[in-house]
Amino acid sequence: MYELSNVGTPEGPDSDRNTVQVVLPLDQVARSITVRHLMTPLARAISVDTSASPVVAYRLLTQHHFDQAPALDDEGAVVGLVTRTSLRAARKVRVTPLGSELLIDEGSPVGSALARLVSKPMLFVVSQTGLVGFVTPSDLNKHPVRVHFYLLIADLEMTMAAAARGYFQDPADALPLVSDARRRNVLRRYEGSKTLNVDADVLTALEFPDLVTVMMKSGLRERFGYTSGSSWNEATQPIKAFRDFVMHPTSELLGTWSISQLTQLESVLRRMLGESEPDRGALVPDRAATPQGYSQRITANDIRVGQVRIPRDAKALFPAHRTRIEVDFLGHPLECRWDPRYGPRQERSGVIGVGRALMRLAREDEILFLDRQAATVRLSQ
């Protein structure tokens, strides 16, 4: 959601300023923290040689308190991962091969890593230059993940306040919906802000639980996709608990919350914010769009640099500006860079940065079929 709304208009003939609150777009908030912020660079990794004995490899992981590590071949190239569990009583190092299911783009949002780490012990991070790092469940305790959730919750809080401003002719009309005790606290905070000459309305003094109550009792919850009060309460209770927890940076997320719970929480937050947006998640502009198209013929250079070129007549499937897009590349979902390359003098083929690792799945001289499904562009053979 993106909204500029009057938070409060000072009354009186001498009043000439409005307080403006900015609610950032969900896409901007959700993508502000990416896998790049979480990953451990391969150059700093504790790795296991596939030729090493399982006993030595197990001791290495145990010594560093690791449950898994990258596996390297005799030339030092990453070929997969090993887990400490798989090394117990093994006669040789057992490697989970490096496949597309273990790859994630460095620019992918935190939510993408969360969903995949539910079932994967490690994800290898891909950039335009190849493998650059990896993420594991323990990386979810890093500060950027906490910031990611804080931004989502803050965006929801501000979106609820903006919804209330648009609904109540007088912001104070929302106060009877909260309990007497909480209303007194709200008024105390509001009066305190006025003594500091803060130009704001009474809604700015509502805390998160108050806003949740106002949304439920006023029926504004329906703007977030919840038609019943019980479903709204069920969805918001974990958010209220997590909001308090996420403000304590010394408390580890994992241990108190499981990866599955974090994934579910992130999904609920994004769904709520998505429901509140009039044009949520659209990657295709409202101008002319075609249902399908074809890529340029793949060259050896395309495979070498990890890109797919898109001809002019298929660009309508994509945004008209540089951004990151969701792509299903030969059955492998990922987030990629997109550059339409609308030059000021000469238009060139658009470019999707798939990455070198996945481009190895394509064949030279091949032309890929393009098909748009909701917010995802599928590239198939």
The domain that holds 302 is classified in CATH as 2.40.330.10
Same domain, 198 and 254: yes
**Domain assignment of residue 9, yes or no:** no
Is 205 contained in some domain?
yes
Residue 274 φ then ψ, to 5°: -65, -40
Judgement on whether residues 187 and 96 belong to the same structural domain of the protein: no
128 vs 105, 125, 131, 320, 339, CA distance in Å?
9, 10, 9, 22, 14
Pair (168, 258) in one structural domain: yes
Predicted local confidence at residue 180, as pLDDT: 92
CATH code of the domain covering residue 115:
3.10.580.10
* 231 and 327, same domain (yes or no): no
Q: Are residues 122 and 154 in the same domain?
A: no
Q: Where are the alpha helices (DSSP H) in the chain?
A: 26-30, 54-63, 84-87, 110-117, 143-167, 180-195, 208-218, 229-246, 253-256, 259-275, 300-305, 356-359
Residue whose tokens read 């006669």 = 91
Asked whether residue 209 falls in the same domain as residue 245, the answer is yes
User: Are 264 and 325 members of one domain?
Assistant: no
Instruction: Output phi, psi for 82, to 5 deg.
Output: -125, 150
Are residues 154 and 262 located together in one domain of the fold?
yes
> 139, 169, 186: which is the final residue of a domain?
139
Q: Are residues 357 and 251 in the same domain?
A: no
Residues 160 and 232 grouped into a single domain: yes
| Domain presence at residue 13 | no
Any domain includes 235: yes
What pLDDT does residue 307 have?
Answer: 93
- Residues 191 and 260 grouped into a single domain: yes
pTM value is 0.65
Within a domain: 102: yes
Residue 82 CB burial class (10 angstroms; 0-12, 13-18, ≥19)? buried
User: In the prediction, which pLDDT does 20 show?
Assistant: 40
Report pLDDT for 4. 31
Residue from 289, 285, 333 nearest 314 by CA:
289
45 falls within a domain: yes
Q: Is-contact 367 378, C-beta < 8 A?
A: no
The reply to whether 132 and 148 lie within a common domain is no
| Exposed/middle/buried for residue 64 (C-beta within 10 Å: 0-12, 13-18, 19+) | exposed
Domain end point (choices 112, 139, 166)? 139
Number of domains in the chain: 3
Q: Determine the pLDDT at residue 371.
A: 84
- pLDDT for residue 8: 35
Domain range for 100 is 39-139
Is residue 5 in a domain?
Answer: no
Given 139, 165, 193, the domain boundary residue is 139
- Cα(111)–Cα(262) distance, rounded to whole angstroms? 9
Spatial separation of the C-alpha atoms in residues 227 and 230, rounded to whole Å: 9
- 341 φ, ψ (degrees, to nearest 5): 55, 55
- pLDDT, tens digit only, all 381 positions of the chain: 333 333 333 333 333 333 444 556 666 766 778 899 999 998 888 888 988 888 888 899 899 989 999 988 888 888 889 898 888 877 888 888 888 788 888 888 888 888 889 889 999 998 877 888 999 999 998 989 988 998 899 889 989 998 998 899 898 899 999 999 999 998 998 888 878 877 778 888 899 999 999 999 999 999 888 988 889 999 999 999 888 887 777 778 888 889 989 988 988 898 888 755 433 222 222 323 333 678 888 898 999 999 999 987 788 788 878 888 999 888 888 888 998 887 655 668 889 999 988 888 888 878 888 887 777 888 887
**Residue 135 is encoded by which pair of tokens?**
């993420």
Residue 16 lies inside a defined structural domain of this protein: no
